Structure 1
Amino acid sequence: MHKSIEIDEKIFQDAVKFYGTVFNLPPLASKIYSYLLFDCEKVGIAFDEFVEVLSASKSSVSTSISLLLNAELIVDHNKMDERKRYFFINDEYKKIRLEKIVQKLQDEIKLLDDLNNFKKNKEDDYNERLEVYKAILNKNIQNIQESINKL
């Protein structure tokens, strides 16, 4: 079997490193995700191609694909005339990623509020810098929400 897509090795390696860090992916899952980025024509990549091109075991590829599917980073489709599943980048991943960022920012604000309420009960001094920081977080949430709506 040959590669069904053309990749640039340097960009591929940069993508593996970047998405492995950003999405907290294990190395093989990051390689699969990065490989799919080069499927510009959206033909889809079959399981067997990942096994061969990435020189990985079927079990490892299967585990990594399951992780990527569960994280909603990729999607799969079966073509009508074939039994094979083909994998694609989830076109909604940008929206999903931004929604996760918003959730983390909201979680941090809640935690800061809980800590601040606890400290207020014990101490009388109020932390003005905390309010400035929370305002920055809220502004970022608002900006990201506007971007999500545009996507």
Structure 2
Amino acid sequence: MRQLLALDLFKEISEHYEVYYKLPPLTARIYTLFIFNNCKDGLTFDELVEIFQASKSSVSTSLNVLIEHNYIEQIKKENERKRYFRSNRNLFLKRLDDVLKRLKNEKEINIKLKEYRQSTCRDLFKQEAFDVYIDHLSDVTQSIEKTIQNLKLHIKPNEE
């Protein structure tokens, strides 16, 4: 597993989660490992401490952040006290749903702002610019809604 951490692709993906999802470096690396691992059984806390040679406190903090953001889930196996962690099977759906909510809110806010601006100063944003942006938001939200529907076709009900 340690050689996985040295892969350029592993480093690139970790950096992606640091930059675009604002995850701390260790948290991004742990999440990237879950993405690469992609197994139903998951990994234990002790395995993660060993793999990353990090303190228990740091690994625990990272896991809590990932769980809080629904990036990973914890599972318990029958007759075992250990907790296992794995990628959230519905992460793509959750991410797209979050993006969809933000874009719908963005559209509503800009429609209200456009109406307000029509009754006041029109110098900064022209109505046409609002229209182009609002139309774009409509197109994007429709596309995301379609993608969510398609993804749901590939997720078994017991995985939701």
Question: How far off its partner does 1:81 sit?
Answer: 2.6
Residue equivalent to 1:18: 16
Q: Which residue of 20, 25, 28 maps to 1:27?
A: 25
Residue equivalent to 1:73: 71
Match of 2:37, SS?
coil
1:6-36 deviations in Å (ceiling 9; x for gaps): 7262221111011223322111111111011
Residue 140 of structure 1 pairs with residue 140 of structure 2: yes
Structure 2 gaps, min length 5: 152-160
- In the comparison of the two structures, how many residue pairs are matched? 148
Structure 1 gaps, min length 5: none
Give the TM-score taking structure 2 as reference length: 0.83
Residue equivalent to 2:51: 53
Identity fraction in percent:
33
Residue equivalent to 2:100: 102
With 111-120 and 128-137 compared, the bigger mean Cα shift is at 111-120
Give the TM-score taking structure 1 as reference length: 0.88
Residue equivalent to 2:157: none
Verify the 8 A CA contact 2:39 2:86 in the aligned structure 1. Answer: no
Residue equivalent to 1:84: 82
Question: How far off its partner does 1:99 sit?
Answer: 1.0
Change (3 A) 1:82 1:135: same
Question: How far off its partner does 1:130 sit?
Answer: 1.1
Q: Which residue of 7, 24, 30 maps to 2:4?
A: 7
